[in-house]
A and B are shown apart, each in its own frame.
Chain A
Amino acid sequence: SAVISQKPSRDICQRGTSLTIQCQVDSQVTMMFWYRQQPGQSLTLIATANQGSEATYESGFVIDKFPISRPNLTFSTLTVSNLSPEDSSIYLCSVEWGNTEAFFGQGTRLTVV
């Protein structure tokens, strides 16, 4: 199994600013995934982060808005830039384990005011 430490757990940010979310995994993993979950909704994949290469973004998500870093096999950050109220959501990082299951961080609840 994998244990993921994600921080911050929550934040309130002013519109126009940015928030950087960090995820630390207790094991080396090839890929890390970033999801967004709006209140009462499902999880939507933002991007896949591989160490040593640029992240791969899903349709509707762009690097300028959601820059991702993956400096090593246990760590990744997601930045949500130029915040607007529509960015208020829960952001989760995840890793795949054994090609069968995923482990998630506890999530970052972002409120933009």
Chain B
Amino acid sequence: GQSLEQPSEVTAVEGAIVQINCTYQTSGFYGLSWYQQHDGGAPTFLSYNALDGLEETGRFSSFLSRSDSYGYLLLQELQMKDSASYFCAVSSRGGKLIFGQGTELSVKP
């Protein structure tokens, strides 16, 4: 079977740093990606890791450890507009994405 685990919700204040963890168990693995989804909107791509290590894109960074089947998304200098749902997703054969259940991030003033 295939499963991804991530926290259901996280709360943080503006300007803070938050880390959203994701552990996965899948039969095929090509990479781990992260998507942001605001209420009523479509998921938008944030980051992708195929190899172990840290990928940095502006205020967002993503980390992957393939040996631990673990990754995380790090959001720095949180802003109110970062309040959204964040999904980790495993890329498998044929370009398919298997999504985690999502983490709802609430940023407070």
Which residues on B are within 8 Å of A, measured CB to CB? 30-31, 33, 35, 41-45, 48, 50, 87, 91, 94-102
Contact = CB atoms under 8 A, between A and B. Distances in A.
A99 B31 CA distance: 9
A48 B42 contact: no
A31 interface: yes
A31 B98 contact: no
Closest 7 CB pairs of A and B: A96-B95, A101-B45, A104-B42, A100-B48, A43-B99, A42-B99, A42-B101
Contacts of A33: 95-97
Contacts of B35: 102
Contact of A101 (B30, B33, B99, B100): B33
Interface string A31-45: 101000000011111
B94 A31 contact: yes
Contacts of A103: 45
Interface range on chain A: under 10, 10 to 19, 20 to 34, or 35 or more? 20 to 34
A48 B52 CA distance: 28
A28 to B, nearest CB: 15
A41 B102 CA distance: 7
Contact of A48 (B45, B48, B94, B102): B94
18 contacts: A31-B94, A31-B95, A42-B99, A42-B100, A42-B102, A45-B96, A45-B98, A48-B94, A48-B96, A92-B42, A92-B43, A96-B95, A99-B91, A100-B31, A101-B45, A102-B33, A104-B43, A105-B42
A103 B45 CA distance: 7
A94 to B, nearest CB: 8
